[in-house]
């Protein structure tokens, strides 16, 4: 029986849509899928949770919604879960406690990639909540990797950019502002940058900058594809 991947998405919806496209692309390019019946079985739940980009004021409501949707995905047949939002991983333990199936952590997957590549000082771009929390910092520092974030003013700008993408505004002005932030981190000695909000890769591509980028959504999609095909081959 095929494993069923349940995705807690919708935070925001464009990132969830891109995750689905990435999963298909990776299935073809990395795992050689050519038939419709061989693609991963996916349940995608788009959840309109309150905005946690700038603060955690509505965190209790958002977490309750996520817990309920995680249970709903499991009742629908999901055999493991993942979530397409970095910030909500602050409550990863609550999701794990809510269900009795494995949960694949985006934070763990990104940290593993950064560590395996031997990075020493990495920049993090994400929501204000993510950048000001220990979400990435604690796991990176445990691996001996220094993490830098933008200035307070630049963090506010980044929050505005993320809201613009969620609202569907992806233009050259927004792209230029993000490139400026990436270049600023590079000038401070970062040897790579984590795109730690799944909206940000919609504004930038690796070819647009000279420093390596870690696309958290792409890394999660790759990890999920690996798990899907591994579970299918080893039930």
Instruction: Summarize pLDDT for 124-182 with one digit per residue, the tens.
Output: 999 999 999 999 999 999 999 999 999 999 999 999 999 888 888 888 999 999 999 99
Question: What's the domain range around 42?
Answer: 4-105+218-233
Same structural domain, 10 and 95: yes
Task: Return the CATH number at 186.
Answer: 3.40.50.1860
- pTM value? 0.94
Rounded Cα distance between 53 and 49, Å, is: 11
Q: Say how far apart CA 124 and CA 195 lie, in whole Å.
A: 6
Task: Judge if 33 and 116 occupy the same domain.
Answer: no
Question: Which DSSP symbol is given to 102?
Answer: -
Number of folded domains that form the chain: 2
pLDDT in tens, 107-130: 999 999 999 999 999 999 999 999
Residue 82 is given by DSSP the state: E
Residue with tokens 């050519």: 34
Q: Are residues 85 and 142 in the same domain?
A: no
- State pLDDT tens for residues 181-228: 999 999 999 999 999 999 999 999 999 999 999 999 999 999 999 999
CA distances from 173 to 105, 161, 164 (A): 32, 10, 11
Q: Single out the residue of 71, 78, 68 nearest to residue 44, CA to CA.
A: 78
The backbone torsions φ and ψ at residue 204, rounded to the nearest 5 degrees and listed phi first, read -145, 150
Q: Check whether residue 145 and residue 115 sit in a common domain.
A: yes
Q: Are residues 229 and 132 in the same domain?
A: no
Examine the domain organization and report whether 80 and 24 are in the same domain. Answer: yes
What tokens appear for 144 in the block? 């001996």
Same domain, 196 and 117: yes
């Amino acid at each position: 029986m095929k494993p069923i991947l349940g995705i807690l998405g919708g935070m925001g919806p464009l990132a969830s849509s891109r995750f689905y496209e990435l999963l298909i692309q990776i299935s073809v390019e990395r795992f050689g899928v050519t038939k419709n019946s061989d693609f991963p079985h996916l349940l995608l739940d788009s959840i309109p949770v309150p905005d946690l980009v700038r603060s955690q004021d509505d965190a209790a409501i958002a977490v309750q919604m996520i817990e309920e949707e995680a249970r709903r995905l499991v009742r629908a047949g999901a055999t493991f879960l993942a979530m397409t939002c970095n910030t909500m991983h602050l409550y990863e333990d609550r999701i794990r406690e809510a269900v009795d199936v494995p949960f694949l952590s985006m934070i763990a997957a990104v940290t593993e990639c950064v560590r395996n590549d031997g990075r020493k000082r990495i920049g993090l771009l994400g929501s204000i909540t993510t950048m000001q929390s220990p979400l990435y910092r604690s796991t990176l520092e445990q691996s001996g990797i220094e993490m830098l974030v933008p200035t307070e003013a630049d963090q506010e700008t980044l929050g505005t950019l993320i809201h613009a993408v969620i609202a569907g505004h992806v233009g050259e002005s927004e792209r230029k502002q993000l490139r400026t932030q990436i270049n600023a981190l590079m000038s401070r000695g970062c040897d790579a940058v984590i795109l730690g909000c799944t909206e940000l890769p919609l504004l930038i591509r690796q070819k647009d900058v000279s420093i390596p980028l870690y696309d958290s959504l792409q890394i999660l999609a790759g990890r999920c594809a690996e798990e899907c095909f591994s579970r299918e081959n080893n039930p």
